[in-house]
């Protein structure tokens, strides 16, 4: 019985998520399908990578992760099936795969698509379902597609490091408007080397210590901590950090100039060490 996760930028306003699950169950009614999210904003690769990366690592080995994000950024001549760290990842060949795993996959297979078939989300789900069914029946990955295909690679969003600073970017704002920065605990401690620090962000706001929980500060006070995925988070105890106090945002699309359309601009947060 195969365990599948489903992540997309489809939204929940229409029938499509349900129809995708229907296509998967047509291939095998025994598939166990769990949703990660269907609310990813279009074109925001760093946020999609953050969500997928930190969900995937919590699932049992040999789970199948179907990622329907930016499927048609370019013409889908093939779809991808990757095997990495004992997880299967199925997605479009759009660069998101290398951002999720922060490097190259151990093994990647190009799944063929029918050149005469209409390329839409349901067809992609069908191709993924057939591949999962084949693996569940014991077929080798190399026998269901083209092994070791060249894929589009995009780099994950890395913080900028100097001897005395880390400059990170806001990659996610959660449902409580807590602000997630692309600085991990490991990066922070390696750069800190036991030194004192202060975290600086908009309006010259500063934080000078790392909390363990939100309750470490009085209600309404700002704090910084490392979240359950190990990323730096700026929050307000029982408040909305992004909107109410700091005016922080994750990204904005610059559409004023057609030459710059769909580029993402990130607000930064800087850590100073002394």
Q: What is the pLDDT of residue 117?
A: 79
Q: What is the pLDDT of residue 43?
A: 87
pLDDT digits (tens, 9 = 90+) for 34-57: 999 999 998 899 999 999 999 999
Q: What is the pLDDT of residue 203?
A: 65
Distance of CA 138 to the CA centre of its chain: 30
Whether 255 shows a pLDDT value over 60: the answer reads: no
Average pLDDT over the chain reads 89
Q: What is the pLDDT of residue 175?
A: 86
Give 70 or 245, the one with higher predicted confidence.
70
**Phi–psi pair at 65, nearest 5 degrees:** -110, 105
- Other C-beta atoms within 10 Å of 260: how many? 11
pLDDT digits (tens, 9 = 90+) for 13-34: 999 999 999 999 999 999 999 9
Domains (range + CATH), the chain: 3-147 (3.40.50.10790), 160-273 (2.40.30.90)
Q: What is the pLDDT of residue 140?
A: 92
Q: What is the pLDDT of residue 103?
A: 94
Listing DSSP states for 1-59 in one string gives --EEEEEES--SSSSHHHHHHHHHHHH-TT-EEEEEES-PPTT-HHHHHHHHHHHHTTS
Whether 251 shows a pLDDT value over 80: the answer reads: no
Length of the chain: 274
- Other C-beta atoms within 10 Å of 22: how many? 12
Whether 261 shows a pLDDT value over 50: the answer reads: no
Give 204 or 4, the one with higher predicted confidence.
4
What is the percentage of the chain residues whose pLDDT exceeds 70?
A: 89
Nearest partner of 47 among 193, 171, 164, judged by Cα: 171
Q: What is the pLDDT of residue 243?
A: 57
Which of the residue ranges 1-5, 9-13, 204-208 would you say has the lowest mean pLDDT? 204-208
Give 74 or 225, the one with higher predicted confidence.
225
Q: What is the pLDDT of residue 253?
A: 39
pLDDT digits (tens, 9 = 90+) for 108-165: 999 999 887 788 999 999 999 999 999 999 999 989 999 999 999 999 889 999 999 9
CA atoms within 13 A on the CB side of 184: 9
Angle at alpha carbon of residue 63, lines to 62 and 68, rounded to 5°: 135
Whether 9 shows a pLDDT value over 60: the answer reads: yes
- Whether 168 and 268 have beta carbons less than 8 Å apart is answered as yes
Q: What is the pLDDT of residue 260?
A: 33
SS3 of residue 250 by DSSP:
coil
- Can you tell me the mean pLDDT for 65-81? 91
Which of the residue ranges 2-11, 123-132, 235-244 would you say has the lowest mean pLDDT? 235-244
How many angstroms separate the CA atoms of 238 and 243, rounded?
13
């Amino acid at each position: 019985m195969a365990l599948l996760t489903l992540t997309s930028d489809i939204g929940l306003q229409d029938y499509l998520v349900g129809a995708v699950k229907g296509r998967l169950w047509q291939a095998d009614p025994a598939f166990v399908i769990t949703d990660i999210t269907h609310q990813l904003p279009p074109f925001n690769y760093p946020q999609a990578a953050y969500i997928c990366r930190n969900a995937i690592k919590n699932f049992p080995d040999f789970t199948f992760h179907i990622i329907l994000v930016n499927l048609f950024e370019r013409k889908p001549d093939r779809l991808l099936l990757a095997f990495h760290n004992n997880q299967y990842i199925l997605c479009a060949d759009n660069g998101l795969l290398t951002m999720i795993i922060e490097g190259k996959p151990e093994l990647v297979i190009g799944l063929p698509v029918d050149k005469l078939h209409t390329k839409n989300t349901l067809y992609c789900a069908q191709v993924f379902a057939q591949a999962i069914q084949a693996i569940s029946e014991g077929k080798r990955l190399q026998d269901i597609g083209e092994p070791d295909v060249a894929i589009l690679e995009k780099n994950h969003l890395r913080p900028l490091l100097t001897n005395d600073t880390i400059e990170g970017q806001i990659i996610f704002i959660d449902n409580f408007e807590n602000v997630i920065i692309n600085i991990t605990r490991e990066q922070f401690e390696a750069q800190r080397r036991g030194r004192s620090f202060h975290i600086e962000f908009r309006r010259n706001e500063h934080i000078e210590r790392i909390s363990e929980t939100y309750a470490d500060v009085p209600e309404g006070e700002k704090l910084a901590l490392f979240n359950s995925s190990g990323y730096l988070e700026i929050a307000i105890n029982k408040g909305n950090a992004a909107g109410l106090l700091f005016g922080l945002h994750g990204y904005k699309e610059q559409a004023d100039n057609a030459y710059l359309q769909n580029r993402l601009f990130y607000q930064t947060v800087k850590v100073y060490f002394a």
